[in-house]
Structure 1
Amino acid sequence: MKINIIILVASLSIWGCTASQPQEEATNSVSINESKFGTLPDGQETTLYTLKNRQGTAVSITDFGGVITSLIVADKEGDMADIVLGFNEVEHYIAEAPYFGAVIGRYGNRIANGQFTLGTDSYQLATNDGNNHLHGGIKGFDKVLWEAKSFENENAVGIVLTRTSPDMEEGYPGNLTTEVTYTLNNENQIVMEYKATTDKTTVVNLTNHSYFNLSGEASNTILDHVLELPADSFLPVDSTLIPTGELRPVAATPFDFQTPAVIGDRIDHENQQLLYGQGYDHCWVYKDTTDQMKYGGSLYHPQSGRLMKIYTMEPAIQFYSGNFLDGSLTGKSAVAYQYRTGLCLETQHYPDSPNQVAFPTTVLEPGQTYQTKTIYEFGVK
C-alpha cells in the first residue's frame, strides 16, 4: 500500500496590504545566492542558500540539517524582519541549537524508552531526552550534511536536499533515502516537500522545527501572540512528555484554542497541572484526521500585524512554547534567546506512535513511498 502523507511547509502571502507594494516593486524576478556557511569538524564545507522573490521575501537554508536560518517577511507597514530564531554560523548549529529551523528525522518527537517493535524484531534507539528518544537521536537529520542542488525558473527558485540514512543509523532499521525540497515562488509561497523510501520496514515521522517570533524581535516573548488551533482534542502526557494514550477534549482546559486566544492568557490558566515542562509541549489532534488538506490553524501578532496560517494533511500538530530556552544561547544580532521567546508549530503524526497501536501508523514498508508537504502562509491584518 502506498503511503501518501502530505504536510505543507510554508506559503508566504501578504494579503491586502498596500504598504507592502514597494517591496513588490523592488525586483521583478526570483533569485538564489550561494555562500559559504562554515566548516564541519571533518573538514566538509557547508553552504547557505538564500532564496528571494519579487515581493522581497527571503528565506535562507543551509545544507547542514536542512536548517532554515532566517525568514524575512513584511509587517503591516511593509517593514521587513526576520521571524525565526537561529544562528549566523554553522558551528553553533553543531554544538548548541535545540533543533532551530531543522529537518527532523527519522522520527519527529518522542519515542518512549527509545524502544519499539516491528513484527518480531525489537529496536533500541538512543535515549537523548532522559529515558526517551527525541527527534531522531544524538545525530539525527538536523546534524548531518545533505547533498544540495538548486533550481530556478521564471516564477520560482529552490533547492533539493537528498541523503540516504544508512541501515541502523541511530538504531533505525533500513536504508532510508530521503529528499527534501524547498521552493520559494512569486506568489510568496515557500513550499517544503518530503519524500522517502526504505529497503526494510521502518518508522518515519518527518517535520520542520522552526522557532517563530512574529514580532521580528527575538528579545520579545511569544506570550502576546494569538493562536488558533482547530483541534477538539489533545494528547495528555506523563512527566517525561510521553502520551498516556488518551485523547482528551480540549474544552474547559488551557488547551482550547478552537477560538483564537492570546497564548499568555492560556498558558497562565489555573489548570496548570496539565502543563508539564513549564508550558506547552503537546500534540493537538485535529477534528479532521484524514489525509485531506485542511486548515491547521493560525498565529497572529497584533502589534506587527503579521499573520501565519497553516494548512496540512497531517492528523496533528505539536505546539511547543519555548519552555527550555533560558538565555544561554545567543543568536542572530547578538540576542540572547530567553524563556518563551520563540515557539514551534510542527505538523506531524503523534509522538510514540510506534508503541501505541491506537495511534495512526508511522510504519513505512519497502515498495511504499512516504510523501509530505506542509505550508505556513504569511500575511498581515
Structure 2
Amino acid sequence: MSEYVDQTAPGGSVGQVEKRFFTFAAPPHPLAVESGLSLGPVTLAYETYGELAPQKDNAVLVAHALTGDSHAAGYYDATDPKPGWWDIMIGPGKAIDTRKYFVVCSNVLGGCMGSTGPGSINPATDTPYGLEFPVVTIGDMVTAQKALVDHLGIDRLLAVVGGSMGGMQVLEWSVRYPDMVRGAVSLASTTKHSALAIAFNEVARQAIMADPNWRGGDYSRYPEKPDMGLAVARMIGHITYLSDEAMRAKFDRRLQDRCDISFNFEADFQVESYLRHQGKKFVDRFDANSFLYVTKAADYFNLEKAHGNGSAVAAFSRAKCAYLVVSFTSDWLYPTYQSRAMVQAMKKNGLDVSFVEITADWGHDAFLLPNPRLEAILSRFLARLLDAARLDSGEKD
C-alpha cells in the first residue's frame, strides 16, 4: 500500500495551505433548499490536505462546528498567529494522517468564511442577501458538500468526521448518502437539539436582534455593525462550551488585575474579562446574520424526523457505514445519554458501531483540545477503514 506524504510539512504540520473556492448551482439550475426556496450560484470555500490516492479510496471529509471554517490545519503564511482549528488532529503522523489520507474541509453553506451566506451578494439585487437569504438546514449544508465531493471526483468517502454541529453533518451524511460513506465519526454531538440547547441559541439570537445596529438584518450599508449583540451571543455560547470543572480550574473566583472588587460594573473577575475578550475577538471574524442562520440550522436538525418518521432506529436503518461515536463526561450541552441513544439505535440496525465516553474536565469543547486517547481511537478507526477499503479493492501491502 502506497502512502502520500506532504514533503513540505515540517514537524507534523501540513505546512502552508491555500483556501480554494468551488461554485455551482448557477441559474438555471439553482440549489433547492429544504425551506422550499432555491439559491444560486453557490460558492463553498474549502481546503485540502494530503493527496488523493489513485484509487480515490482515502478521502476524509472533516465537518466543522458552529462557528468554524474551512481552515482546519496548517497556516496561510508565516505571520499566522496560530494554525487551523484542528491542527492537533490533522497532519503527517497525527490521528488524521495526511501521509495516508486526503482530507477535505469546507465552510458550511450559510457561513461567512468564504462560502455563500447572508453576507454574500444577492445576484438579483447586487447587494448582500441579509434576511433574504433562505433559511438553510444541516441537510442543505450536506447537499452542498456532496456537490463539492463530486467535483473533486470522489465517489465514496473513507470517512466523514466532525464534532458538535460537525457531528450533525456526519450523521446526516451517513443516512442521506449511505452509499458514499464507509465510516462516520461523530464527536460530542446529537441527533437533535434538546430544549436546553435551543434555549441557549435563542437567547444568543435575541442578543443580536436586540442590538439597534442590527437594523432588521440590513446592517451591511452602515458603518456600525451589531457588534455588541454578536459579542454577547458569543459569550453565551462560550459558557455552554465549558464546564463547571473547567470554569473552576481556569478562573474560579479570581480577580482580574485588581486586589479587591470595584463596586461598579467593570470586569472584576477573570471569567468576566475572559468572556468579554472572547466576544470582542469574535466580532472581528464572524458575521451576525450568519450566526443567526447556523444556530437555526442546528436547532432545526432532527435526524429522526427527517429520515425516520420520528424514530432514530428507522433513521439509522438507511445507513451502511461503520460508526465511531465519542462523548465526553463533562459535556453538558450534548451529554453522553444523547450519544448512547444514537448508539442504541445504530446497534438495533446491526451496524458496526464503536462507542467511547472519554473522561475530560473541559466540557463540550474537549474534542478540540489535545487528548491522546481520542487521537489513538480515531487513528485506529481510520486505519481499520482504510485497510478494509484496500482489501475490498484487492490491493496488497
Instruction: Give your verdict on TM over 0.5.
Output: no
Point out the structure with the larger helix share: 2
**Please, what TM-score do these two structures have when normalized by structure 2?**
0.28
Specify the structure having the higher radius of gyration (Cα): 2
